[in-house]
């Protein structure tokens, strides 16, 4: 009988989280800048310059922040694995008993738990302890470079939408058109992310759109309040 591998959504949690966060942040941040500066009465070239500066700064900030955060997680995982490796070399019987206890707590009787632990340790002792004791799996391992590139790339992808809108929209309507376009983009982003992650699509779309609308609305209010040309 041929067994077909199941495809689970957990395998894409790390990169999906970084990509969605980057795209949302790019769209919201740059759209808010564009709307705020446009509401202040700035000329189009100043609006575009502000948007481009926001795109570059935001992409680098996202990449750096994501890299540092995920690298810290990776460093912790590496340290834990090194500790576990030393313990396996020094006290293999103690580690076998520890793994046996873990399987007992999951419902196996002691004899079977010890057999399973022994078999797994004879095959890959460090892998067994990493997975079942430390909770570190290959699927969920921290990958800082991947996370940084995904965040920066997705930020740029999200930021291009309000930038293109500011470039193509009538000068007198840049704020309004940018607001509406960004809101539609956020609805699509939120819905897509929710669908990919197996969550309710409408809830995800509304959640992202709400916070985006709030950010752009507040920035527009600040721009109109000061009303200074950049």
Instruction: Decide if 102 is inside a domain.
Output: no
- Assigned token pair, 137: 């799996």
- Name the residue with higher pLDDT: 96 or 165: 165
Per-residue tokens: 89? 């070399």
Per-residue pLDDT, 219: 87
C-beta of residue 88 within 8 angstroms of C-beta of residue 126 = yes
* 143-182 tens-digit pLDDT: 788 878 888 888 999 899 999 999 998 888 888 898 899 8
Cα distance between residue 166 and residue 30, in whole Å: 10
Average pLDDT over residues 75-80: 81
User: Half-sphere exposure of 38 toward its Cβ, with a 13 Å CA cutoff?
Assistant: 28
Using DSSP, state whether 16 is helix, strand or coil.
Answer: helix
- pLDDT for res 230: 41
Cβ neighbours of residue 19 under 8 Å, at least 6 residues apart? Answer: 150, 151, 153, 154
Residue 217 to residue 219: CA distance in whole angstroms:
5
Q: Is 162 inside a domain boundary?
A: yes
Distance of CA 207 to the CA centre of its chain: 16
* Rounded Cα–Cα distance for residues 74 and 68 (Å): 10
Q: What is the pLDDT of residue 66?
A: 82
Residue 140's pLDDT band (cuts 50, 70, 90): low
For residue 97, tell me if it sits in a domain: no
pLDDT tens digit string along 181-221? 988 988 888 887 777 667 788 888 888 889 888 988 888 88
**In which residue are the tokens 């999200």 written?**
158
Using pLDDT thresholds of 50, 70 and 90, give the confidence band for residue 2.
very low
**Structural domain includes residue 112:** no
13 touches 140 (CB < 8 A): yes
| pLDDT band at residue 21 using 50, 70 and 90 as cut-offs | confident
Distance CA 217, CA 35 (A): 8
Percent of the chain with pLDDT over 70: 86
Question: CB neighbours (10 Å) of residue 68?
Answer: 11
Q: What is the pLDDT of residue 20?
A: 72
Q: How many residues does the chain have?
A: 230
In a domain, 129, yes or no: no
Enter the tokens of residue 128.
């067994």
| Residue whose tokens read 């890959």 | 124
Q: For residue 14, what pLDDT is reported? A: 53
Total structural domains within the chain: 1
Residue 7: the pLDDT is: 52
| 189 is a domain residue | yes
Name the token pair of 154: 């997705």
In a domain, residue 200? The reply is yes
For residue 202, give its domain range. Answer: 12-79+143-226
Cα distance between residue 118 and residue 100, in whole Å: 8
At residue 12 the predicted structure's pLDDT band, cuts being 50, 70 and 90, is: low
**In the prediction, which pLDDT does 141 show?**
67
Label residue 53 by pLDDT band (50, 70, 90): very high
Contacts of residue 41, Cβ cutoff 8 Å, sequence gap at least 6: 227, 228, 229
pLDDT at 133 exceeding the cut of 80: no
Q: Identify which has the larger pLDDT, 113 or 49.
A: 49
CB 27 within 8 A of CB 186: yes
| Assigned domain for 117 exists | no
């Amino acid at each position: 009988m041929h067994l077909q591998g199941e495809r689970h959504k957990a395998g894409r949690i790390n990169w999906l989280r970084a990509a969605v966060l980057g795209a949302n942040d790019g769209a919201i941040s740059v759209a808010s800048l564009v709307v705020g500066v446009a509401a202040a009465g700035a000329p189009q070239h100043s609006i575009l310059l502000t948007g481009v500066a926001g795109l570059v700064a935001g992409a680098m900030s996202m990449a750096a922040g994501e890299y540092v955060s995920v690298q810290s997680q990776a460093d912790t995982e590496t340290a834990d694995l090194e500790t576990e490796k030393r313990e396996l070399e020094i006290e293999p019987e103690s580690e076998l008993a520890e793994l046996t206890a873990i399987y007992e707590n999951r419902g196996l009787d002691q004899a079977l738990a010890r057999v399973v632990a022994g078999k797994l340790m004879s095959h890959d002792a460090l892998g067994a302890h990493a997975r079942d004791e430390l909770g570190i799996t290959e699927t969920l391992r921290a990958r800082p470079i991947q996370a940084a590139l995904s965040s920066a790339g997705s930020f740029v992808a999200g930021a291009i939408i309000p930038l293109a809108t500011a470039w193509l929209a009538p000068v007198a309507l840049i704020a309004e058109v940018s607001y509406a376009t960004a809101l539609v983009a956020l609805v699509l982003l939120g819905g897509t992310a929710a669908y990919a992650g197996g969550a309710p699509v409408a809830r995800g779309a509304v959640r992202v759109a709400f916070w985006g609308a709030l950010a752009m609305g507040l920035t527009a209010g600040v721009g109109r309040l000061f009303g200074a040309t950049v």
